Structures are given as structure tokens and as C-alpha cells.
Structure 1
Amino acid sequence: MKTVLITGASSGIGAGLAKSFSADGYHVIACGRDPARLEALHQTCPNLTVRLFDMTDRDACRQALTGSYADLIILCAGTCEYLDGGVVDAALVERVMNTNFLGPVNCLEALQPQLVRGNRVVLVSSMAHWLTFPRAEAYGASKAALSWFAESLRLDWEPKGITVTVVSPGFVDTPLTRKNDFAMPGRVTVDEAVKAIRIGLAAGKMHIAFPAGFGFILRLLSGLPAFLQRTLLRRMVRS
């Protein structure tokens, strides 16, 4: 039986992936911070092991993950907070960076001694760093850092036979995005996100981005002159 380790398994994409892989006969190591949600997940997925820890705590990661082996590692725990009115809040930025960037790094540090040729590591980033959105200074920076780290790590781990994949979703209907106070074009369901990720992994893709339509729009916007980008992105966030 193959093993998949998933962070952020308490809800959203992580929980959806845990259910999907469990249904396909994988042993799932479900990691998160919410004991009630993880226990509820365990009740529906008998071939699932719960690991309760805070990935922003380096020592906690070591204690929870050292010695753990998984054929597939999916790091998708994340958070989102916005800076309002351009007021820089260092504590807010630190919280977001700790969860979205340093958290996955902590997990990888703890897991790397067990990695062997043929393993795959998946880091869930976001399309948010493809363009600079208003209010998204912390979130966009954290996902840009994660993507850069993953792309660089791929170059170092590829000779060892360890594959690194970056997943860049657009808006996904999760408890996190439901807090947003703006329109979210192209928003997909968790089931649709899980399907896109599983199809991409089965195809051996190094980069999985969805939904395609929203991604195309962002790529198109990135080719426009800077002043047009700023105007359109401000309108997009306000609408």
C-alpha cells in the first residue's frame, strides 16, 4: 500500500485530497491542527493516520514527522490575511509567511532524511503571485517565496530522483476563501481542485495550474503595460 502525507488535511483542498487518496487505497497520513476535524476525517477514512501539530513550530514538525515515510508528500496547509489601506502590519505579514512559506520548509526539513528516489513532493502555491493584487502583499509574497523555493529545490533534488511539483490554484471554494469580501472569478469547488491535482500528478506534471480560463486571463494581464495592469487589477478586486 502506497502512503501519501498531506498537510492542511483538516479542511479545504487538503481534506478533499485525503478523502480521494484514501478511497483509492492509499494509506493517508493526515496532518493538521484541528483535532475535531481530523477525527471526523478519520471516521470516514479508515486507512488514515492523524498527525496533530503546528507546522509553523519547527520542533513540533520534527517530533511529528521525523521517521515518517511517504511515497507522496503534499504540503497544502495555508492561510490568507490582507493588508487594508496600504497599512503595513509586520505581525500580520509574519503570520502569513510563517504558515505559507516557513511551515512547508519546516516540514521538508523534517521529512528529507526519509526521502528516496521515486518520491514526489508537492507544494501548493497559488496563482496570486503571478500578478500583484491590491491588499495581497503578504499572501502574494508568501506564495511567490514558496514557488521560488520549490522551483529551485527541484533542480537540486532532480539528480537524486526526487520530483518536486508546484500546484497553483486560482480561487477554490473553501472556508478560507469564503472570508473574502470581493468577487472571485473562476472559483472552483474542492472536488474540482482535487480532480485537477490528481490528473496533473498522474500525468507527471511539474506545474499544475487551474482553472485554465482564469490562468489564461492572468497570463494575458501580465503582458499588458504596467499602468493598464494596475487599473484592471484594482477594478477586479473592487468588483
Structure 2
Amino acid sequence: MIPLTEHQGKTLLLTGATSGIGEALCAKYAALGWHVIACGRNQEKLTLLASDERVSTLQLDLNDAQQVADSFKSIPDIDLVILNAGSCEYIDDPKHFDGELFARVINTNLISVGYCLQSLLPKIVSGGQLALVGSSASFLPFTRAQAYGASKAGIAYLASSLAIDLKPCNIDVSLIRPGFVKTPLTDKNDFKMPMSISSEQAATYIIHGLNKRQFDIHFPKKFTYILKAIACLPDVLWRWISTRNL
């Protein structure tokens, strides 16, 4: 871990800061001496986060393009942006595909990221970093995850493309792809979550990877390497394995 003194005066803007991985990241970065601009919709949780003098908060709906532009207009230069906010809903009956659910997940997990990038990229300093939170679901298709998986596959492509085009601007891009992490969001899952870790463990993996300026930050490795290996198998095999929920 980078020593505390090297973090003094640095600014992080973090979306999805009021729950799960985002809340853990907020606490850990503040403890490391960063000024954290914590963004979320839950004002009650934001108020609690703001009890730390190193944390300031912004209450906003990232799906509202105008609200995003207005909220981010006056923020200062940023050393690190972590776009972490997201949702997960499953399509239980593919024969009767739920287009509204699909649009809702794509808008929250992907389209809103575009709104954030439009406002925030000009504020990232030379030598700064941008991190997009995707998912290990982008390694391998999973049953019922058509909406969630498609949104996170889009994040993976977006991060890969931005990493190329932002290099001349001296901005490093990271793609964060967690395995199963125990959060209020995943508590609603009705299936087994192998090798799941806590939000605090996930935050530690992320901070370590960002400190090293890694592009692909995936964890826990024993789980994500299994997914990568399965993805190399013939289609008929990985499809069968996917339906078994690993």
C-alpha cells in the first residue's frame, strides 16, 4: 500500500458510495488521507459518510443527464474517478423478454457512465486515473444475466477503448471486474455465489490494483481465473457449465 503521506491532498470522486463496495472504498480512501467526493442517491447514508471531515457528498440520480452535468459542474480537479454505481436485475423468462427491465439495467450500468464521463473526464488531472467497475460476468455468459451481463460487457469494451485514447492525455484507465461480493445488492440473489468475498476485501483488492495502475483488476483470482479458463473451452462445454451456476 502507498504510504499515507503520499495520499495527502489527492481527490477521489466515487459514485455508488452509499452501499457495498462503494461504501467500503469511501472509508478506506478517506483513512488513507484522500479527499473523497462521495456520490449517491441515499441522502441519509451520504449524511453519515460526511461525518468524516475528509468526505464531501453529492446527492444525485446518475440516470438524469442534466442533473449529472449540473452536479459535477463546480467540482475541483480530480486525481481519481471510480465509477462504481450500478444495479442488477435478472430476466427470469427469456421467451417473454422484459424490455423495460433490460433498458433499466443498461441505462443505470452503462448509459449513466457516459453522462459521468462527459462531465468528469475534463476534470481528471494529467497523471490521474479513471476506473470503471465492470463484473466478472463479462468473462463468461451466465443464465438470466442478459441485461446485467450485456451492460458489464459494454463497460469492459468502453474501458479498453478509453485506455487507448486517454493515454496521450496521461490518464490511466482501469477496468475492475469483481467476482461475487457480499453486498445489499447481491443479498437478493437466489443462487449460490462461490468464493464470495466481503465488500471490505473487494475494496482492498481495488485499491491495491489502482495503486499499481493495473488495467484489468479482477478478483478473487482463484475464481476469475476459473472463469477465464472456462471461457476458452468449446461453446458447448462452457454453455453447459454456465447453466450449472458453476
Tell me the TM-score range normalised by the shorter chain: over 0.9
Match of 1:74 in 2: 82
Could you list the per-position Cα deviations for residues 62-97 of structure 1 after superposition, in whole angstroms to 9, with x for gaps in the alignment? 011123221110000010000002131111011101
Match of 1:60 in 2: 67
**Matches of 1:116 and 1:199, distance apart in 2:** 21
Match of 2:197 in 1: 188
Contact 1:3 1:70 in 2 (8 A): yes
**Matches of 2:124 and 2:234, distance apart in 1:** 44
Match of 2:11 in 1: 3
Choose 7-16 or 115-124, whichever is displaced more: 115-124
Match of 2:232 in 1: 223
Correspondences of 1:153-164 after superposition (within 5 Å): 153-164=162-173
Give the letter aligned to residue 127 of structure 1.
S
Contact 2:22 2:84 in 1 (8 A): yes
Deviating beyond 4 angstroms after TM superposition, the runs of 4 or more aligned structure 1 residues are none
**Matches of 1:198 and 1:113, distance apart in 2:** 23
Determine which of 76, 97, 112 is the counterpart of 1:103: 112
**Matches of 1:73 and 1:114, distance apart in 2:** 10
1:89 is aligned to 2:106: no
Contact 1:67 1:111 in 2 (8 A): no
Correspondences of 1:1-239 after superposition (within 5 Å): 1-43=9-51, 45-68=52-75, 69-86=77-94, 87-236=96-245
Choose 147-156 or 136-145, whichever is displaced more: 147-156
Once the 2 structures are TM-superposed, how far is the Cα of residue 116 of structure 1 from its aligned partner? 2.8
Q: Which runs of 5+ in 1 are unaligned?
A: none
Once the 2 structures are TM-superposed, how far is the Cα of residue 20 of structure 1 from its aligned partner? 0.4
Once the 2 structures are TM-superposed, how far is the Cα of residue 143 of structure 1 from its aligned partner? 0.4
Q: Which runs of 5+ in 2 are unaligned?
A: 1-8
**Matches of 1:162 and 1:189, distance apart in 2:** 29
Choose 137-146 or 81-90, whichever is displaced more: 81-90
TM-score by length of 1: 0.96
**Count of residue correspondences:** 236
SS of the equivalent of 1:9 reads coil
Could you list the per-position Cα deviations for residues 103-135 of structure 1 after superposition, in whole angstroms to 9, with x for gaps in the alignment? 111111011222331110000000101111110
Give the letter aligned to residue 172 of structure 1.
V
SS of the equivalent of 1:49 reads strand
TM-score by length of 2: 0.93
Say what the alpha-carbon RMSD is for the aligned residues: 1.0
SS of the equivalent of 2:33 reads coil
**Matches of 1:5 and 1:36, distance apart in 2:** 19
Once the 2 structures are TM-superposed, how far is the Cα of residue 47 of structure 1 from its aligned partner? 1.2
Once the 2 structures are TM-superposed, how far is the Cα of residue 146 of structure 1 from its aligned partner? 1.0
